[in-house]
Amino acid sequence: MKKHSYVLGTGLSHDGSACLLKDGEICVAIEKERLTKIKHDGFNDTMAINYCLEAEGITVHDLDLVVQSAIWGGDFGNGNSFFRGNRPFTDDVQVPVVTISHHLAHAYSTVGRCPYEGPFDVLIIDGSGASFDECIDIGNAFVPEREKIHGDIAHLYYEKDSYYTYSDEKLISVYKDFSPLGYYNKNYPAGLYTMDSIGGVYQGASQYCFRNHMDAGKLMGLAPYGCPGVYKDEIFFLQSGRVHVNYDWIRKLNKPAVSHEMFKADFKYYADIAYHVQKELERAVLYIIRGRMALSGSGRLCYAGGVALNAVANNLILSHTEVEKLYIQPAAGDNGISIGCAYYGWLVTLGEHRKVRENNSTCFGISYSKNVIEKVLTSFENRYNEDNLSTSIDNFFRAIESGYKPDRIGAVSVVIEIDIKDYCRYQIIIADGRLECKRGGLFTPDCIVELDALQLATIIQDPDYITILWEANRIKISDYQQLELFGTIVDIHEISKDSGINFGPQKKNILDKFVYAPDFIERSATLLAEGKVIAWFQSGSEFGPRALGRRSILADPRIAGIKDYINAEIKLREDFRPFAPAVLREDVSTYFQTDRESPYMILVDYVKDEWRSKIESIVHRNDTSRVQTVTPDWNPDFYKLLEAFKRISGISVLLNTSLNRRGMTIVETPQDALDFFYSCKLDYLVLDKFIVSK
Ligand SMILES: [Fe+2]
């Protein structure tokens, strides 16, 4: 007799993921990027699916249903077993596979997870969704200019915002807006893929400032450094309930930052653009919400889609519209598509009943047992012995200089960070056929190696990827954009083999560097109060872009300069990037203006005047913070840590940022955590109940 019902949801967009429901509850879910270590990785879903199946101890044959969604659904024309690579649904697997359209999947991610009984409304806004002919949720929804979208051009119109009502266990489409396919220009801050799209403009501005259209969060962090009044033109025309983009304003922008130096040299220019784009996004989002809420007006809004990650705009929804209750699905971007697919399968395809969630945890990763962690610790070898590092780097260049022969030639301009252990940080800059290497800081190389075209090409073998693999990926490209644009794979072992030079540093173990501490919470709180910066790894990982106390870097927010220290020495990211606070739920109104639950760090709030100078490392330039309120129900150890820190220090706020550095995905496994710990200036790693030092 079959014991459980399993529904697998899978998202095949960028930011791919898989989610497994067991009898209607998520038992495991994972974003693909956590497994491949490539930010925003997506499309083929086999790896994420296998992670879920293995975690639950089942096979694809045990599934009752698979529900999938891809942003370009037409690719399913190749069949379910093939989506940019082989998938587990081969002909001998008898599981039914259902395909749903993009905004509908976003919508069901909120229906499945939101804490309201109903009725409530659902709003989806993102850069681009499914094409008109792929949408299975149009029904009787109002579609502006519907008569234009017909027959043989229906596949050229894409979802940009969708509005639904939910009551009596039914989700009904009310309003769906479509725009024609746009075009892509990497230097142009306009709609990518879909015209007149709010998300598209924001992505375009991110591309313009940071050379990466996926850096929307960074753009939001940059915006407060800009000034009002520098730009007066409207970016969005708001008419008849719809958003249109003023492309005349966008065409005036003709100075995309083509390098980080250019961005830094003209910081104010880019900050002013970020400011204006942010303000315009807020105006457009509020306009849509006011207009759509007037169509039903339940007062309860569930919200998802990439634009829903804009924590600053989200705060205004509560203060500037009729929305009384707001639920934002924390994996609001395309990473949440698998969650929506899974709930669609359970609620619609299988016709089961919806459960309102009391304990709204968003942590669905595998929990690692004490035995597993102990095994990882005892077998871990510190492969990055500094004594050997310089030799290795030198050898790397010696190999190039000694004429290691490439088989392809290309042109590239890229910065590669090599980042090993505390003080052994290197940067390689490849530009115009010249390669520069610096030990330490950023962008002012003190060691330059001249390369000819052939030598340069040793690190440019494949234009699709750029990663230098050396001792398990310890040399990494500095950011995703460069990964995307200039990708090359160079296997240092290959170079080693061909050149006859050994690059591998010697190994040493860390057996004397960790302790099992049942009182790890008290000890961690003490370390934090002493000014230490600790990596905090507990239980199953968060699903979504924010670290919420499972894979976090924590510090005392009162320490002067701690923000700059973590940015420069641990996260290796720009100094304007803010850090968020985690605070005991019951104390939130002590430090922040609103006594509001905000468990997912997806709403900003203002820091109270009297606290700004005391906890300045978590106060952004405009006096706001992206607050995380912590409760004991699904984050018990993190809650106890905040309590313990409060007993020692008198405050119940910690600086909380994700356990990774710039360009790196958040760590997933104990091994990932150890690797990262030994490659940066973190003082301690608290790995479950083990405390690791250096
Ligand atoms: Fe989306």
Q: Is 621 exposed, middle or buried (0-12, 13-18, 19+ CB in 10 A)?
A: middle
d(CA 104, ligand 1 centre) in Å: 10
Task: Give the SS3 label for residue 178.
Answer: strand
d(CA 9, ligand 1 centre) in Å: 15
- Token digits of residue 143: 């579609």
d(CA 129, ligand 1 centre) in Å: 6
How far apart CA 590 and CA 607 sit, in angstroms, is: 9
Which DSSP letter does residue 558 get? T
What pLDDT was estimated at residue 74?
62
Task: Give the SS3 label for residue 342.
Answer: helix
d(CA 48, ligand 1 centre) in Å: 19
d(CA 437, ligand 1 centre) in Å: 39
**pLDDT tens-digit readout, 118-162:** 899 999 999 889 999 999 999 999 999 998 898 788 888 999 999
d(CA 290, ligand 1 centre) in Å: 21
Cα separations (Å) of 613 from 355, 357, 403, 565, 608? Answer: 44, 38, 57, 17, 10
Q: Is the pLDDT of residue 677 over 90?
A: no
Q: Is the pLDDT of residue 546 over 90?
A: yes
Q: Which residues contact 379 (CB under 8 A, 6 or more apart)?
A: none
d(CA 571, ligand 1 centre) in Å: 28
**pLDDT tens-digit readout, 266-321:** 999 999 999 999 999 999 999 999 999 999 878 999 999 999 999 999 999 999 99
d(CA 213, ligand 1 centre) in Å: 14
Q: Is the pLDDT of residue 502 over 90?
A: no
- Token digits of residue 685: 């790693």
d(CA 167, ligand 1 centre) in Å: 24
**pLDDT tens-digit readout, 588-637:** 999 999 999 999 999 999 999 999 999 999 999 999 999 999 999 999 99
* Owner of token pair 């830094």: 264
Q: Is the pLDDT of residue 81 over 70?
A: yes
Q: State which residues have CB under 5 angstroms from ligand 1, the bound ion.
A: 126, 334
What's the gap between Cα 121 and its chain centre?
Answer: 26
d(CA 320, ligand 1 centre) in Å: 25
State the average pLDDT over residues 363-379: 93
Which DSSP letter does residue 443 get? S
**Percent of the chain, pLDDT > 90?**
58
d(CA 141, ligand 1 centre) in Å: 19
How far apart CA 608 and CA 614 sit, in angstroms, is: 10
**pLDDT tens-digit readout, 90-115:** 888 899 999 999 999 999 999 999 99
Q: Is the pLDDT of residue 509 over 60?
A: no
d(CA 460, ligand 1 centre) in Å: 33
Q: Which of 21-25, 216-220, 429-433 is predicted least confidently? A: 429-433
How far apart CA 68 and CA 159 sit, in angstroms, is: 18
Q: Is the pLDDT of residue 458 over 50?
A: no
Which DSSP letter does residue 473 get? T
- Token digits of residue 282: 């807020």
* Owner of token pair 């500095």: 478
d(CA 70, ligand 1 centre) in Å: 9
How far apart CA 317 and CA 675 sit, in angstroms, is: 41
What pLDDT was estimated at residue 661?
82
d(CA 156, ligand 1 centre) in Å: 17
In terms of DSSP H, where are the helices of 367-417?
A: 370-379, 386-401
